[in-house]
Amino acid sequence: MAYLGPGSAFGALFGAVGGAITAAANQGPGDRLSQFAKDNGVHIDQIVLEEATKAFRESGKLRLTDTQGGNTATLKVWVAVYGFVTPNGFSSDLVPVLNVHCQLTGADGKVIWSAHDVAQMPSSFEGNTPDEFKANPKLIGDSWRAAARLVMKEIVDHM
């Protein structure tokens, strides 16, 4: 999980060395937040799969089934990056970050289509403090779901 939490953006002011120190300092909080989410039943892969399935079904651009093999194409969806960042160096709020890839492979094994998109506009999301996440773990899932919905809309709209 990517995490650039409250106060950590300061290290980026000092270039690569400051960024490396900041990244090492934030491994603990990011790992703890990731484990806290999992312990409370919030799983990014499940959220993205649900939002991807919903987006493709609603678009009518693909007919999804659970059938594999034979003469069917396979849609693969994976999360390349997920986590939380502060929207700016002066904020104590965390907003979601998400990078999703999709690939459609034909029955012959050749890639028919692929795309990816990133939720990279922190101002697009309402932030929450780490304390708010601890008090209500559902907010973690809600944040990631909002990012997944945005990313999948972009992917499907440009298919």
Question: 40 pLDDT band (50/70/90 cuts)?
Answer: very high
Q: Which helix (H) or strand (E) holds 41?
A: none
Residues whose CB falls within 8 Å of the CB of residue 28, separated by 6 or more in sequence, listed in order: none
- Phi, psi at 4, each rounded to 5°: -130, 85
Q: What is the pLDDT of residue 153?
A: 93
Domain 2-157 fold: Double Stranded RNA Binding Domain (3.30.160)
Q: What is the pLDDT of residue 79?
A: 94
pTM: 0.79
Is 133 exposed, middle or buried, given 0-12, 13-18 or 19+ CB atoms closer than 10 A?
buried
Mean pLDDT rounded to a whole number for the chain: 81
Q: What is the pLDDT of residue 27?
A: 55
Among 11-15, 22-26, 31-35, 50-54, the range with the most confident prediction by mean pLDDT is 50-54
Is 148 exposed, middle or buried, given 0-12, 13-18 or 19+ CB atoms closer than 10 A?
buried
Taking the chain, what is the end-to-end CA distance rounded to the nearest angstrom?
A: 28
Q: Is the confidence at residue 129, as pLDDT, over 70?
A: yes
